[in-house]
Amino acid sequence: PRSGDLCCPPTWLTWTPYLVLSYVNGPPP
Amino acid sequence: GITEAQARAIVNNALKLYSQDKTGLVDFALESGGGSVLSTRCSETYETKTALLSLFGVPLWYFSQSPRVVIQPDIHPGNCWAFRGAQGYLVVRLSMAVHPTAFTLEHIPKALSPTGNITSAPKDFAVYGLESEYQEEGLLLGQFTYDQDGESLQMFHVLKRPERAFQIVELRILSNWGHPEYTCLYRFRVHGEPIK
Amino acid sequence: GITEAQARAIVNNALKLYSQDKTGLVDFALESGGGSVLSTRCSETYETKTALLSLFGVPLWYFSQSPRVVIQPDIHPGNCWAFRGAQGYLVVRLSMAVHPTAFTLEHIPKALSPTGNITSAPKDFAVYGLESEYQEEGLLLGQFTYDQDGESLQMFHVLKRPERAFQIVELRILSNWGHPEYTCLYRFRVHGEPIK
């Protein structure tokens, strides 16, 4: 199956009921 | 025959490796080390609506594990991300750009599965290196099969070290071991050589 | 040469010790056992503003590990308290008053460090027994050096068992292994004899 079916918005994270962690400024110490 | 000192050395080296995340290799996907889940593309988290959280007797919501657990080290039964069906995707941003050399997939051992089987374990899977989060088809790093009769932790080596380094990889699960409704991912690790 | 039974005994004893927090000794600083972090004096948590937590797409705050992780058992890469520079302080209230006999300092093994080195590990450090949280100079229990080329877990014994018992100890980090910006503390343990 192709992963290319971006049938859902790429930013799945937007309405998920979980806390999402993203690293925006390099790795943590 | 071996001496007592040799036996102790064997045991101590085995325990040392065990204490080094069992592999002695850096896991560039590990969340606490700087890895993060970017997306699950079109996979859908399987909501069992069983684990109900309440406060002061008031039911709040049904809890289910987020995809982040796949890059966290706890693999006790239930601490997996379940997606609907047998095809799933997980796009992970590594703590740094590396030339991937191997991947580790872990599942709970059959002995610890309350049902006595691990039909929800992944079977065939592929890993791609992506240049950006939205790239549709990345570079195929390898296609592998997780053996339900093998070790709980299985490592898969890339056939050919890629010339490019990648900071984003896509884990694409293609089939599972028979569960009709969902597939569970316990832990996925990415090993490799950082760029100089 | 040893017999199979002897080999099994060696293995079982090694596993037993490993399962006893690797040391078989009480850790009076362990948070779940009753220890707590009182203060970090004038050390400053090193804020990288990198781990962003969001909910429903709304950014909430930047997460960084608190000093409490130093008295918690998880030592996966990243689960450390980072303070700015190479001099830091941690004042810990033990679960009970003890005559300290040894201290354990742990860091991740080099093999698991994404950078391949552990320059942010502590190097020279001293431990003091305090009579109260605000006492400026307590009783020096010992000055030691964590060896970056040694074992991941290193134990340091006090030269002379103190006559007094202490429920508050201060860990003073004096230098690190070269990182110019911060020092990471993974886990600090205090072993000793409780007062009768």
Per-residue pLDDT tens for B55-114? 999 988 888 889 999 999 999 999 999 999 999 999 999 999 999 999 999 999 999 999
3-class SS of residue B79:
coil
Contact call for A26 and C48, based on CB within 8 A? yes
> In the prediction, which pLDDT does B47 show?
81
Query: C-alpha angle with apex C38: C37 to C42, nearest 5 degrees?
Result: 105
Neighbours of chain C (3+ CB pairs under 8 A): A, B
Q: How far is C16 from chain A (nearest CA, A)?
A: 33
- For residue range C142-177, what is the model confidence (pLDDT) as tens digits? 999 999 999 999 999 999 999 999 999 999 999 999
Size of interface A-C (CB pairs under 8 A): 53
B125 close to B87: Cβ distance less than 8 angstroms: no
Q: Which of B37-41, B98-102, C19-23 is least confident?
A: B37-41
Its pTM stands at 0.94
B70 close to B37: Cβ distance less than 8 angstroms: yes
Of A11, A18, A21, which is closest to B36 when you measure between CB atoms?
A: A21
Of A11, A14, A24, which is closest to C52 when you measure between CB atoms?
A: A24
> In the prediction, which pLDDT does A4 show?
44
Task: Give whole-number Cα distances, B86 to A12, A16, B89, C47, in Å.
Answer: 19, 21, 10, 41
Among residues of chain C, what percentage have pLDDT more than 70? 100
d(CA B20, CA C180): 26
Contact call for B4 and C10, based on CB within 8 A? yes
3-class SS of residue C15:
helix
- For residue range C107-116, what is the model confidence (pLDDT) as tens digits? 999 999 998 9
pLDDT band for A16, please (50, 70, 90 cuts): low
d(CA B102, CA B27): 10
What residue of C is the nearest CA neighbor of A11? C57
B85 close to B40: Cβ distance less than 8 angstroms: no
Size of interface B-C (CB pairs under 8 A): 67
How does DSSP assign B109-151, residue by residue?
Answer: -GGG-TTS--TTSB-EEEEEEESSTT-SS-EEEEEEE--TTS-
Residue B64, φ and ψ in degrees, nearest 5: -140, 155
Element containing residue B196 per DSSP (H, E):
none
- Show the DSSP H helices in chain B as ranges: 4-19
What residue of C is the nearest CA neighbor of A18? C55
> In the prediction, which pLDDT does A3 show?
43
